[in-house]
Amino acid sequence: MSDNIIGVNERPPLGKWIPLSFQHVFAMFGATVLVPLLTGLSPSAALFSAGSGTLIYILVTGAKVPAFLGSSFAFIPPLLAVSQAQGLGMPYALGGAVVAGLFYCVVAFIIKLTGTGWLDRILPPIVIGSVIIVIGLNLAPTAMSMAMNNADGNYSLVHFSIAGVTLAVAIIATIFFKGFFNVIPILIGLVAGYLFTFIMGLFIPAYHILDFQPVKDAGWFSLPTFQIPKFNLMASLTFVIVSLATICEHLGDVMVTSRVVGTDFYKKPGLHRTLAGDGLATAWAAFWGGPPNTTYGENIGVMAITRVYSVWVIGGAAVIAVLLSFISKFGAIIQTIPTPVMGGISMLLFGIIASSGLRTIVESGVDFKCKRNLTICSVILVVGIGGGRLAFPVGGGLNFELAGVALATVIGIVLNLVLPKTVDKNEAAPVAAEAAKKED
């Protein structure tokens, strides 16, 4: 770790500036392109919207918060639910994401006027953590399908071995690698899985699943593939409900960034400005056909390791991401990444999402001896993971529908508001005994 600290508003010399910015590009790259590949969106559009969205965030926060915004995994379930399960198509899913980003701005305005107390009331750690677990585990079948099945949907040992190698390398990078390489395990796993598939394909025909023809056919430069969003009431409602959980994710990321940099960003520039920046970046991304954005923990990790907190460096990474989105051959190479490689990475990533929900609950000190907490968590998990669905006609040819993560979130909020916060008699004795023991 460097002994020298580059502050938020400091601009490093050009010779250091560019390599430092590329570090952040490497850190965000794997996760940012994985989301569009999983949802059917354009990786080039994702890079464009991540880079330009980050620049919007920097502008809204007055260049006071060093944060890179990339594709959000939390929005994968509603993207798939609206575009596939509900049969509306991706344009309506993108429209829902635009509305979710604007909803961020509404919440930001309310926070500016009233503070965050009301948000803590409706979304305590037991609800947030349980919903995040649902988000991760909801995606588990998708990960295993990509890891095990071939293009025809049949089990393939070849595909599973590719996924296994990819997963193993990503785990090794996560656990054993040090310094900057510990921050980019997703990218390392993707490259290792790709190379394994390529090398094995040279010797064993069954592994010959890479197709480089799209790379040959692609030109060097072109515009990213953009999509125009369309709007639907039910799709928008689904995204708004899920965004309650991602708003809380934003609060956590800002808090971690504050601790890393040593500045309270909750106060300056203010949580309302960081949330508004995130929301506008999300709406902007979806408007151009990219996945919704979120502040990236990977890039926070880079700052913690390098002690370089410069917004200029983050802005440089954003510009590089935008430039890469216009290089057609680069986008074509991303499209050639084999499905089992993505499956192997997803096995780790989606599990990490679920585990972060567990971490939220544990670090918040949620007491599962309390039947209230146990009940809220249990119902959220079963409804969200079990495929709970609420649907009925509302007239005019419209149907109201909530399913999966959105329905689990609503039920969790309702249970948290209506269940009394009391301690059972059977639980009071051991709790009191434990408190007395600590005093002694």
Residues 223, 289 contacting (CB under 8 angstroms): no
Q: What are the structure tokens assigned to 46, written together?
A: 């994702």
Is 432 part of a structural domain of the chain? no
Residue 232 lies in a domain: yes
Note whether residue 90 is domain-resident: yes
Report residue 231 as tokens: 């709007």
Distance CA 90, CA 92 (A): 5
**Who has greater pLDDT, 219 or 132?**
132
CA atoms within a 13 Å half-sphere pointing along the CA-CB vector of 182 = 13
Q: How many other β-carbons are positioned within 10 Å of the β-carbon of residue 244?
A: 22
For the stretch 65-89, pLDDT in tens is 999 998 887 888 888 888 876 677 8
What total number of domains does the chain contain?
1
Which residue reads 């997963």 in tokens?
167
Rounded Cα–Cα distance for residues 266 and 271 (Å)? 5
**Would residue 1 count as lying in a domain?**
no
Q: Which domain holds residue 36?
A: 14-369
Q: Is residue 426 part of a domain?
A: no
What token pair was written down for 225? Answer: 């593939």
pLDDT tens-digit series, residues 387-411: 887 776 655 555 666 777 778 888 9
In a domain, 61, yes or no: yes
* 298 occurs within a structural domain: yes
pTM as predicted:
0.74
Q: Can you tell me the mean pLDDT for 89-112? A: 92
- Rounded to the nearest integer, the mean pLDDT of the chain is 83
Which amino acid is residue 71, in one-letter code? S
Query: What does the block give as tokens for 319?
Result: 């510009």
Average pLDDT over residues 247-251: 80
